[in-house]
Amino acid sequence: MSLQVNKGGVEMLRFKKAQSTLEYVIVFTAIIAGIIIFANSVMKNRVQGSLEDVAGKMENKVKSIDFGN
């Protein structure tokens, strides 16, 4: 980052710093979005499989209960 001697140079430096910060925020947001999308696709199958397994086990237990009828 270099100082500019012309009129408005300080404002130019602030603009460049704000632009750089905005670029970092955009890149960081894109990375986080990618991680969330990837995790969603991977975890969705695992969670669905686990829920189906638990639901099947619960159904079997309910069917095995004798209600004394």
10-64 per-position pLDDT tens digit: 566 666 666 788 899 999 999 999 999 998 888 888 888 899 999 999 999 988 8
Which tokens sit at 32? 């986080």
Q: Measure the CA–CA gap between 44 and 41, rounded to whole angstroms.
A: 5
pTM for this model (two decimals) = 0.48
Question: What DSSP string runs through 11-48?
Answer: HHHHHHHHHHHHHHHHHHHHHHHHHHHHHHHHHHHHHH
What pLDDT was estimated at residue 30?
96
